[in-house]
Amino acid sequence: MIPQQLRRIAAIGTTLVFVLAACGGPAASPPAATSTNGGGTATPTTGAGQPTDAPAEPTAAPGEPTAAASEPTGDGDLNVVFIPKAVNNPYFDAAAEGAQRAADELGGDFTQIGPQNATPDEQIPYIQDATTQGYSAIVVSATGADEVAPALQAAMDAGISVVGYDSSPTSGAYDVFVNQTDFSLIGGALAEWACNLAPDCSGEIAILSATATASNQNAWIADMETALEDEQYANLELVETVFGNDDPQESTTQAQGLLQSYPDLRVIVAPTTVGILAAAQVVSQENSEVKVTGLGLPNDMRQFVENDVTPEFGLWSVPDLGYLAYHVAALLVSGDITGAPGETFTVEGLNDGQPYEIGEDSVVILGPPFTFNADNIGDFNF
């Protein structure tokens, strides 16, 4: 059975429109942004956004909570800004769609701003600008966990609620981190997909990652390397990890370099939506027998599933990630949660109606990863 959040994706997917708009880095004036008040519809002008066999049911919150917050009930304006790692990225466009939907439902404002390139130096000024512009909450995908921490801590000191999503800031630099899935599940899934695509689960494999400082990428790669130590993967050899910095051209160049450097390469694993698309395009253009897998958007990867370059890959419900992150921000702003481990809350339409529980390091997990392949990719449109 397809999980509830994934069923909803299939239903609403036809309404998803990824608008890619260029913007420059932050200047002395405030960053450009689009903001709407509840009920309105907006397309972010400077922001856009970034997963083992059959679909798994969502993970219910552990324990039997005696009470759970269900929606913001406190007074005060709800004005939330999302700051992705970089703009012009369909992954964050999809997350923004979910956040906008949450803002419409809750009667709040949604704004998205961000840098053109996924680097801490470019992201930090946007955080600093957001801190001075009166937002009630900042939701951020960190380009560097430690690098962005001082700016986020300054925002918290100014009374702004801070939520991490997709890529975590360092612990202590956010109130709650909304994790798309359990990191340990991603590393194992990446190893499994590579094994499934390499002939007889053997031969050379390589990783095309995003940025060297991205906390989520590094965690997944570390867990994948641990998984590869298992005896079942003994005949797989990880030859190199390269970084495309979530830039299409740089990711393309890195993928081309892997094919040239390793003529016996069997699989490229790209735990980044930009990287997996670039690698699949390169492999297709060069008529290579190398397979590509990793984390990607169904709409990006559909043709490569059909031509067998990427027989299987994974992700999670990206719109739901933005939807949940906005709800968490709203609950923090209203005071219904503080981000303390053990607190519980529910979000209608997610987690099969079961409460989420804030875990260690104030982390909330959206749900398990999901595998896309030829049997199910036609059911999704995002």
Q: CATH: 3.40.50.2300, 3.30.70.1350, 3.30.300.30, 1.10.3720.10. Which one for 183-314?
A: 3.40.50.2300
Q: Residue 69's pLDDT is what? A: 56
CA atoms within 13 A on the CB side of 271: 33
Residue ranges of the chain assigned to CATH 3.40.50.2300: 4-181+317-379, 183-314
Task: Kindly report, residue by residue over 242-254, the tens digit of the pLDDT.
Answer: 999 999 999 999 9
248 burial type by CB count under 10 A (0-12 exposed, 13-18 middle, 19+ buried): middle
Characterize 365-377 residue by residue with b for buried, 16 or more Cβ atoms within 10 angstroms of its Cβ, and e for exposed: bbbbbbbbeeebb
Q: What angle do CA 69, 72, 75 make, to 5 degrees?
A: 135
Q: Tell me the two tokens of residue 97.
A: 């769609």
Q: Tell me the two tokens of residue 113.
A: 């701003």
pLDDT above 70 coverage of the chain, percent: 80
Q: Tell me the two tokens of residue 132.
A: 């001075």
Task: Kindly report, residue by residue over 31-48, the tens digit of the pLDDT.
Answer: 334 444 443 333 333 333
Rounded to an integer, what distance in angstroms lies between the CA atom of residue 185 and that of residue 294? 13
Is the CATH number 3.40.50.2300 carried by domain 4-181+317-379?
yes
Rounded to an integer, what distance in angstroms lies between the CA atom of residue 210 and that of residue 244? 5
Q: Residue 315's pLDDT is what? A: 93
The residue that leads in pLDDT, 338 or 47, is 338
CA atoms within 13 A on the CB side of 336: 20
Gap between the terminal Cα atoms of the chain: 19
Q: Residue 96's pLDDT is what? A: 96
Rounded to an integer, what distance in angstroms lies between the CA atom of residue 87 and that of residue 21? 8
The residue that leads in pLDDT, 17 or 213, is 213
Is pLDDT at 204 greater than 80 in this prediction? yes
Q: Residue 138's pLDDT is what? A: 98
| Residue 29 pLDDT grade (very low, low, confident, very high; cuts 50, 70, 90) | very low
In the chain, count of helices (H) and strands (E)? Answer: 10, 15
The residue that leads in pLDDT, 57 or 108, is 108
Rounded to an integer, what distance in angstroms lies between the CA atom of residue 162 and that of residue 165? 10
Q: Residue 15's pLDDT is what? A: 32
Average pLDDT over residues 77-87: 95
Highest mean pLDDT among 28-42, 61-75, 324-338: 324-338
Q: Which amino acid is at 222?
A: A
pTM score, two decimals?
Answer: 0.70
Of 85-94, 166-175, 258-267, 316-325, give the lowest mean pLDDT range.
Answer: 85-94
